[in-house]
A and B are shown apart, each in its own frame.
Chain A
Amino acid sequence: MAIIERPTPVAPVVVTPTETYGLLKRPVSSTGWRSWVFTVDHKKLGIMYAVTAMFFFIVGGIEALLIRLQLAAPNGKVLNADLYNQMFTMHATTMVFLFVMPMAAGFANYFVPLQIGARDVAFPRLNAFGFWALLFGGIFLNLAWFLGGAADGGWFMYAPNSGPVFSPSNGVDFWALGLQIAGIASLTGAINLIITVLNMRAPGMSLMKMPIFTWMITVVQFLLLFAVPVITVALFLLSFQRNFGARFFDVAAGADPLLWQHLFWIFGHPEVYILILPSFGIISEVLPVFSRKPLFGYPFVVFSGAAIGFVGWGVWAHHMFASGLGPVSVAVFSVATMAIAVPTGVKIINWTLTMWGGKLWFTTAMKFAIGLIVLFTVGGLSGVTHSIAPSDTQQTDTYYIVAHFHYVLFGGAVLGIFSGFYYWWPKVFGKMLNEKLGSWNFWLMIIGLNLTFGPMHILGLQGQPRRMYQWTEARAGEGFFNLAFWNLVASIGSFILTIGILFFLINVWVTSRNPQKAPLDPWNARSLEWMTSNPPKEHNFDVIPTVHHLDEFFHRKYEEDEATHTMKQITTAEELIAEQERNADKHIHMPSPSYWPIVLAFGLPVITFGLIYSYLIAVVGGVIVLFAAYGWSLESSTAPESDFENPNSSTELVKHG
């Protein structure tokens, strides 16, 4: 156990545990790589999630660039047809499951406990397990590149393309089993965050006083909780078909290939809200702060978010309008899809009215937030055109669809994530990202993404199918609708977009070398995560705050002037935090680090690897999992009092594992 002395939380004193649990002694380091690998701290895990996601963002980005290079000119020679199939399959899989979802998980992990005034999550070890399972699952998915080729059936892997006849390599096996592991990670993460929000809120924080980001994350976690098992079923059916000879998608045996499509999209449609709602949450935090106004219609934003989450369960078949569902199903799902535009529209109106009449401060974070509102609206409108089934039949499997979902995902989810980077960077790392580089970052990304995805509307309506690996000059058409021209524009755009993202990475590097520390409350923020030091201490808050208001932190800094009915500042963040430090809780027990989460998570890819190559390896994996499960359940999440050795007689100690 390490015991950290106040007030210098950087000087750890390592002591030996007097008691051991299971077979291994508890890890004790609080610095160095061990402090990260065995950590259960939600902040460290949040950073690890984000770094992992950023890595996969770059991987997926390189895959995207290769796709655009291939399509830049007629008869592309960069990739062959087979490799092209693998490229677009893995691009989508990586971006959805290994970039946006983990990035949102990173933000959620870091900020939800801080926003609700908690010291950690409900299940710290489960949290760590979720991260490692995600990382190992992601690595496992990408191992296929080196072992005979990656998955090549498209990210929704329709039968019969997913079968051994059309996908003979092990790619689809790696894909199905890797997503299974990532699914376990999402499920444990969802349970953890839901219980954290339900049960760990600071005194006084009722659900309707929760920061909006936390609300949106909560909706997302419920979607994950109920959507992940559906894809789990689908993936099991697929794996059983490929590896054990089941007949689920075998038309010769009388199977219905639509079974896969339904199961995939029952998961897949909630999934798109899983991708976008965290970013909605982020900009709902950013917009009020930089408009110097409270969020307009907070309850409406909350309920519309919940409504999107709920109605999102009843619209999945709009991905299947072209599959011959029958007129009744098409009509029902078409109407439901139009209905879901309503709560989304409510949100857009609320954001706009938040800015209306505010003293706008155009920081990079704010620019990205406004970028989201504009570009998501574009993507949302093309989405409404899909809800009209006859029009959708025309658009299905064309670049128009590609344009739509890139506007909502890149223009929506990714811009929101970047807004979050700029807004919360000083909170997490104690330094401000460079605003000038940020401006370059923003504008190049905006120009790049519109040049890349804008022309795809035209390409799609002209009939260019998605997933086509080459196009020919002879069939490119003429004039304004010439495919060659717009394909080239899109490819150039993708490189501008890449340069924009490079500016972000440069910004991170420049910022890390800049010795200047960020002020405590650089944006004059509103919610609880700012009511602690930058970066927060290991135990988050010296005193657990008692909450009286929505935007508690703002209401502690400001009071309404009786005479003029304006808000006037009564104290500063520095004073508030200094006061907390003076009244700091004594004896704060933090959850202790543990070996078991990473060991348990490591067992999973060993099992799945064994399922593909040799059952003997799978048995070894099973033994690892069982061993870790016993170790885990025999170890208490927080080491008991007797486990701590007091290095000195000081009573003011913060103990952690």
Chain B
Amino acid sequence: MAETAHGHVGSTGISNVKLGMWAFLGSECLLFGGLISTYMLYRGRVTGGPRPSQIFDIPFTSVSSFVLLMSSLTMVLAVSAAHKDDDRKTNLWLTVTALLGATFVGGQVYEFTAFYKEGLGFSTSLFGSSFYTLTGFHGVHVTVGIIMLMSLVGILKRSSVPGKKAEVVEMVGLYWHFVDIVWIIIFTLVYLIPV
């Protein structure tokens, strides 16, 4: 009984870390909500430079959105393998997820470069400032996720994860899926709904 005082599992039998992660994600909803609202308010305010419809490349962004969506599948497969203690498969799916994520971020870098060349800088217009801020924040979240995934692959190989391995993978998974659902919203609100 004494162990419950500090362990990873509290008096309800629920994992502390998992509760903490969900609370954090609840909090993140208000972070991205604020950024998305700022964008929605400002998306049509273009005093100079291109308008959204002039530069968005829907086929390209659709493909990178699809890549990110599928990375959620590979992530969930990694979690599933981790719960079955299948280290080889866990590592495989984690690596694939990280690669898909990197593809998405690479696409974003390409997109940003292309937009910049077409005349949309960070200071060009309110649309530019709010677009780069919103998608940039998301991109940073994805990048942090990739770093966590790659670290996880390295750590799992050395098998020195404190606590339960499967739980650590699951936590990174929750974060990763959250980043994905944020993009589901951004893709619709930012790209697909015309101003």
A interface residues, Cβ below 8 angstroms from B:
21, 118-120, 122-124, 126, 187, 190-192, 194-195, 198-203, 225-230, 232-234, 236-237, 240-241, 244-248, 250, 252-256, 259, 263, 539, 544, 585-591, 630, 633-638
Query: Assuming the A-B contacts A199-B19, A225-B23, A234-B34, are A240 and B41 also in contact, with contact meaning beta carbons closer than 8 angstroms in the complex?
Result: no
Question: Contact: B5 with A198, CB < 8 Å?
Answer: no
Query: Assuming the A-B contacts A201-B11, A237-B38, are A585 and B19 also in contact, with contact meaning beta carbons closer than 8 angstroms in the complex?
Result: no
Which applies to chain B's interface (DSSP): helix, strand, loop or mixed? Answer: helix
Question: Contact: B10 with A229, CB < 8 Å?
Answer: no
Question: Contact: A253 with B34, CB < 8 Å?
Answer: no
Q: Which residues of B contact A586 (CB under 8 A)?
A: 2
Q: Which residues of A contact B19 (CB under 8 A)?
A: 122, 194-195, 198-199
Question: Contact: A589 with B2, CB < 8 Å?
Answer: yes
Question: Contact: A230 with B30, CB < 8 Å?
Answer: yes
Question: Contact: A246 with B122, CB < 8 Å?
Answer: yes
What are 13 residue pairs bridging A and B, where the CB atoms are less than 8 Å apart in the complex?
A: A199-B10, A200-B11, A226-B27, A227-B30, A229-B30, A230-B34, A232-B34, A246-B133, A247-B123, A247-B128, A256-B41, A589-B3, A633-B162
Nearest to B30 among chain A residues (CB) is A229
Shortest beta-carbon distance from B119 to chain A in Å: 15
> Considering the complex, which residues of chain B in the window 3-29 have a beta carbon less than 8 Å from any beta carbon of chain A?
3-7, 10-12, 14, 16, 19-20, 23-24, 26-28
Question: Contact: B125 with A253, CB < 8 Å?
Answer: yes
Question: Contact: A637 with B6, CB < 8 Å?
Answer: yes
> Considering the complex, which residues of chain B in the window 30-88 have a beta carbon less than 8 Å from any beta carbon of chain A?
30-31, 34-35, 38, 41-42, 45, 47
Which of B2, B24, B126 is close to A585, meaning CB atoms less than 8 Å apart? B2
Question: Contact: A539 with B45, CB < 8 Å?
Answer: no
Nearest to A226 among chain B residues (CB) is B30
Q: Which residues of A contact B162 (CB under 8 A)?
A: 21, 633-637
Q: Which residues of A contact B122 (CB under 8 A)?
A: 240, 244-246
Q: Which residues of A contact B194 (CB under 8 A)?
A: none
B97 on the A face (CB < 8 A): no
Shortest beta-carbon distance from A596 to chain B in Å: 12
Shortest beta-carbon distance from A455 to chain B in Å: 39
Question: Contact: A187 with B27, CB < 8 Å?
Answer: yes
Question: Contact: A199 with B6, CB < 8 Å?
Answer: no
B193 on the A face (CB < 8 A): no
> Considering the complex, which residues of chain B in the window 105-126 have a beta carbon less than 8 Å from any beta carbon of chain A?
122-123, 125-126
Which of B2, B20, B27 is close to A228, meaning CB atoms less than 8 Å apart? B27
Q: What separation, in Å, do the CA atoms of A122 and B38 have in the docked complex?
A: 35
Query: Assuming the A-B contacts A229-B34, A255-B45, A539-B5, are A194 and B23 also in contact, with contact meaning beta carbons closer than 8 angstroms in the complex?
Result: yes
Nearest to B125 among chain A residues (CB) is A253
B159 on the A face (CB < 8 A): no
Query: Assuming the A-B contacts A233-B38, A544-B1, are A122 and B126 also in contact, with contact meaning beta carbons closer than 8 angstroms in the complex?
Result: no
Question: Contact: A588 with B20, CB < 8 Å?
Answer: no
Question: Contact: A199 with B11, CB < 8 Å?
Answer: yes
Q: What separation, in Å, do the CA atoms of A202 and B1 have in the docked complex?
A: 11
Q: What separation, in Å, do the CA atoms of A363 and B16 have in the docked complex?
A: 40
Question: Contact: A590 with B6, CB < 8 Å?
Answer: yes
Shortest beta-carbon distance from B27 to chain A in Å: 5
Q: Which residues of A contact B137 (CB under 8 A)?
A: 236
Nearest to B10 among chain A residues (CB) is A199
Question: Contact: B30 with A122, CB < 8 Å?
Answer: no
Q: What separation, in Å, do the CA atoms of A14 and B130 have in the docked complex?
A: 55
Q: Which residues of B contact A636 (CB under 8 A)?
A: 162-163
Query: Assuming the A-B contacts A195-B20, A589-B5, are A248 and B130 also in contact, with contact meaning beta carbons closer than 8 angstroms in the complex?
Result: yes
Question: Contact: B16 with A255, CB < 8 Å?
Answer: no
Nearest to A228 among chain B residues (CB) is B27
Question: Contact: A232 with B11, CB < 8 Å?
Answer: no
Which of B6, B133, B151 is close to A589, meaning CB atoms less than 8 Å apart? B6
Question: Contact: B2 with A253, CB < 8 Å?
Answer: no
Q: Which residues of A contact B28 (CB under 8 A)?
A: 229
Nearest to A192 among chain B residues (CB) is B20
Question: Contact: B155 with A634, CB < 8 Å?
Answer: yes
Which of A118, A233, A247 is close to B34, meaning CB atoms less than 8 Å apart? A233
Which of A194, A246, A544, A585 is close to B129, meaning CB atoms less than 8 Å apart? A246
Question: Contact: B125 with A247, CB < 8 Å?
Answer: yes
Shortest beta-carbon distance from A542 to chain B in Å: 10
Query: Assuming the A-B contacts A237-B133, A255-B126, A256-B41, are A200 and B10 also in contact, with contact meaning beta carbons closer than 8 angstroms in the complex?
Result: yes
Q: Which residues of B contact A192 (CB under 8 A)?
A: 20
Shortest beta-carbon distance from A130 to chain B in Å: 13
